[in-house]
Amino acid sequence: MPKPISVIVSICSSHCSRLLSLVRIELSLYKLMVTFQVDKNLVSWLKHINPRIEASSADLSARLIGSEFKGRKLSIIKIGAKGASRILARNPDTSFSFAIADGGVFKGVAGDRDVFATPNRFSFMALPGEPVEICSGTDLISGYIFQISADYLLSEAVEHGTQLPSLVTLQETIPGHEQLILACANQLIKFSALADELSSLRIMQPLEESIVSLLATLVGVDPSALNPGKQNNSKPSYVQIALSYMENNINQPINLSDLCIACNVSCRTLQVSFQTVMSSTPLQVLQELRFTRLRDLLLQGMDVGRGCETVGLQHSGRISAKYKQIYGELPSHTRSRRL
């Protein structure tokens, strides 16, 4: 079985006038030509991320298809990758990016955070300069990628009342708002294709501003700036309610919005409460709880796969590695020692 082909996609601006920009790169290992077809709408964006793409077989032509909205402050790329088994890229040094999955099966890592592939849900975020790796499990994968100046988004967060904002907090606050973001994004991409200046003024600018304003509102306080010594009497009760919700629903997917609804408070209030009381974010505490419960089940003799399912974890190599990082041994070793 041939090994995957790895090529660096370089885009020539002279191709932009064509419907598809064809990138031909000769691979001396196989002595053949591999053609990557790239929609001209994606050429400008690809120049900024310098992707490296691995095709799944020697005779396969990969294709990057999609469209782009480029606004005053926000760029949105709806992209599909066909025939690419692995994609490596680096987020631009000045941009904050996040993605919402659309279709296909894939996994990966953005920075040191997992990439998720649930359709119409938050997939990943990338801070300025962070690497992104996507491994495809299907021939076609697709999603939406949003990019905005990191400095601009931080300044907008301050304008919305968040002092000492941190983009890292968006990993927990964006989930739960995908429906609104996608509704605006699809309209922006649709009207962008029409190239109608009147549409731009009346429709596109307000839609773009809606997404930017939402993101600025969702940016939370830098956790390192919070003082754990200052406590509000009402905050521990929020934390206790959230912990009870985690325990009662530990086998289910839980995001920050779920916890906020259970506690009837805003995302920012709950985050500050957890930082004040537990010096961790709600989702960090949730992950610690899942691993603690998994270890308890393994010590009782439950097999690893069933144990992961019971506590809401996906049985994978990354989960095993994280478990070993915490407890110094693999999950299977914990179980075998106690049988």
Q: What pLDDT sits at residue 312?
A: 92
Helix (H) or strand (E) holding 334: helix 331-338
Is residue 245 helix, strand or coil? helix
Measure Cα distances from 299 to 294, 302, 324 in Å.
9, 7, 15
Distance CA 268, CA 8 (A): 41
Q: What is the pLDDT of residues 223-246, one digit of tens each?
A: 665 544 444 444 456 788 888 889
Distance CA 119, CA 219 (A): 23
Is residue 166 helix, strand or coil? strand
* Cα torsion 272, 183, 20, 118: sign: positive
Confidence of residue 296 (pLDDT cuts 50, 70, 90): confident
> Does the pLDDT of residue 195 top 80, yes or no?
no
> Does the pLDDT of residue 59 top 90, yes or no?
no
Dihedral, CA of residue 102, residue 170, residue 49 and residue 2, to nearest 10 = -50
Domains and CATH numbers, the chain: 5-218 (2.60.120.10), 227-339 (1.10.10.60)
Helix (H) or strand (E) holding 103: strand 95-103
Residue holding tokens 């782009």?
Answer: 68
Is residue 9 helix, strand or coil? coil
Q: What is the pLDDT of residues 242-277, one digit of tens each?
A: 888 899 999 999 998 889 888 888 888 888 888 877
Asked if 23 and 35 touch (Cβ cutoff 8 Å), the reply is: yes
Cβ-Cβ contacts under 8 Å for 242 (sequence gap 6 or more)? 259, 262, 263, 270, 274, 282
> Does the pLDDT of residue 150 top 50, yes or no?
yes
Asked if 145 and 77 touch (Cβ cutoff 8 Å), the reply is: yes
CA angle 279, 247, 325 (to 5 degrees): 55
